[in-house]
Amino acid sequence: MVSWSDGFGSSSSSDDEVRKAPATMECTEWCGLALNHPACCEHRSPCEKLVAFESTDSGRRFLGCAQKDGPKCPYVEWVDSEWPIPLKTALNKIWSMYEKELTDRLR
């Protein structure tokens, strides 16, 4: 299970890695602006605390662009380290099953 402590992990996106911010889900324990953290997105404003809801990153906390008006930048700084391989494999399988079920339903 995910650890919801407020400590920041050491895992973050590298500067040369181009990534789109992942889809997110609501989490009452990890939300709002990260005012006590020096991270700033490309807009030079405080980041928002978010939880990923996408692929093998599901459940991982990260800091992302908090821009409400206009386009969000792709800034992502992971707070939780990557999940262990067995969990990533299981998440990948679950998402594949979900996508197959969705495709079958649409047909």
pLDDT digits (tens, 9 = 90+) for 14-65: 444 446 788 888 888 888 888 888 878 888 888 899 999 988 999 999 998 8
Letter for the amino acid at 80? D
Residue 65: give the domain boundaries.
Answer: 24-82
Domain membership flag for residue 74: yes
Question: Looking at residue 84, what is its pLDDT?
Answer: 96
Domain membership flag for residue 37: yes
Domain membership flag for residue 30: yes
Calculate ∠ Cα 47-51-55, nearest 5°. Answer: 125
Alpha-carbon span 77 to 93, nearest angstrom: 25
Query: pLDDT tens-digit profile of 61-101?
Result: 999 888 888 788 888 899 999 999 999 999 999 999 999 99
Tokens of 50: 């978010």
Residue 4's pLDDT band (cuts 50, 70, 90): very low
Domain membership flag for residue 98: no
Domain membership flag for residue 73: yes
Q: What is the count of structural domains for the chain? A: 1
